[in-house]
Amino acid sequence: MGAEGILLAGAGRAILLQLADPAVGRGVAEHSTFTDRPINRLKGTLTYVYAVVYGTDEQLKEVRRRVNRAHVPVRRAADVNSPGYNAYDAELQLWVTATLYDTALTITEKIYGPLDDESADAMYRDYAKLGTALQLPEHKWPKDRAAFRRYWDERIRTLRADENAVRVGRGLLYPKRAAPWYRAIMPFARFLTAGLLPHQLRNDFGLPWSDNHERRFHRTMKALAVIYPKLPQRIRHGFKNYCLNQLETSPAQPR
């Protein structure tokens, strides 16, 4: 399931959920320029996902090296102005991994319907690797899907986007210096992102929503559920194949 291109529909949701963790939001706000290069950032993240789940040992080694190198400067000791943050923090890596897994599951089930237990367990194990391939100890990843749901529901219940998260998130949602084609697709991307977010984060990030938006969102997802599975696999898995093919020849991108 992780190879399906339709998962790109959840990219905005995953990123905004990550930013809503205060430490992640502070780290990104102070160290990342991905609002100026959103496509590079998205490609980098998905290349990591694809390499961990589908790549060769050499591809996995390369993406781990790139991510760890990018994380080295993303740290700040607590002081009077900031509680601090550290990109190597296991709890933060757990949260980032959790957002990728829950978003992938959400999109998959909207397109293909609920997974059977065997498929769902396999998907859960695959996504655990995204964290444990870095600094997330295996025991930190919830032991099963039920434990994950308890962890997730507790985090979502109190999660709110602070000033840093909103500033970065709005810069991503309303790009000022992106290519014309990217700006052209952003209204639809914002619409999907808003429909997939928990309501309190939708409000925090200033994404408009109404009963009419809700009806349009459900119609859109139903249409995608009919159309997307009929596409040839070479199209559905095309972005995954492209990212892995580029991995060995492309230089690492800055964060």
CA pair distance 126, 131, nearest whole angstrom: 10
Q: What is the pLDDT confidence band of residue 255, given thresholds at 50, 70 and 90? A: very low
The domain locations on the chain are: 5-247
What pLDDT band is residue 157 in, cutting at 50, 70 and 90?
A: very high
The more confidently predicted of residues 206 and 178 is: 206
How much is the mean pLDDT over the chain? 89
Residue 150: pLDDT band (50, 70, 90) is very high
Give the residue, 109 or 249, on which the prediction is more confident.
109
**Continuous H helices in 55-158:** 57-71, 90-112, 117-132, 145-158
pLDDT at 250: 57
Mean pLDDT of 223-241: 95
pLDDT band at 35 (very low <50, low <70, confident <90, very high): low
pLDDT of residue 254: 44
Q: Please name every residue paired with 76 in a beta bridge, in sequence order, or none if there are none.
A: 85
- Name the pTM for this structure: 0.90
Contact between 21 and 99 under an 8 Å Cβ cutoff? The reply is no
Report the alpha-carbon distance of residue 180 to residue 176 in Å, rounded.
10
- Position 75: which residue type? R
Task: For residues 246 and 255, give the distance between their C-alpha atoms in angstroms, rounded to a whole number.
Answer: 18
